[in-house]
């Protein structure tokens, strides 16, 4: 098993850095809301998916070493 440093994320509600603790120590996931369906898609709609993708890929690469 690997050993990694603690991960801290900024809580946008409290504006404080908080230590990330997964409910399941062996696994962590990312949830993003579905697409905007009430209007045409714009580049701004894809920001959520892009940010989540970058986060997941960065963490996966970091954990692989």
Q: With bands split at pLDDT 50, 70 and 90, how would you rate the model's confidence at 41?
A: confident
Provide the whole-model pTM: 0.52
In this model, does residue 2 exceed pLDDT 50?
A: no
Q: How far apart are CA 13 and CA 47, in angstroms?
A: 19
Domain boundaries, the chain: 22-64
pLDDT tens-digit profile of 48-65? 888 888 988 888 887 776
Say which residue, 2 or 18, is predicted with more confidence: 18
The strand ranges marked E within the chain are 8-11, 16-19
In this model, does residue 1 exceed pLDDT 50?
A: no
């Amino acid at each position: 098993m690997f050993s990694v440093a603690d991960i801290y994320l900024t809580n946008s509600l409290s504006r404080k850095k908080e230590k990330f603790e997964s409910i399941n120590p062996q696994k962590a996931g990312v949830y993003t809301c579905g697409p905007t369906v009430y209007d045409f898609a714009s580049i701004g709609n894809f920001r959520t998916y892009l940010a989540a993708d970058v986060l997941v890929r960065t963490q996966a690469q970091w954990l692989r070493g």
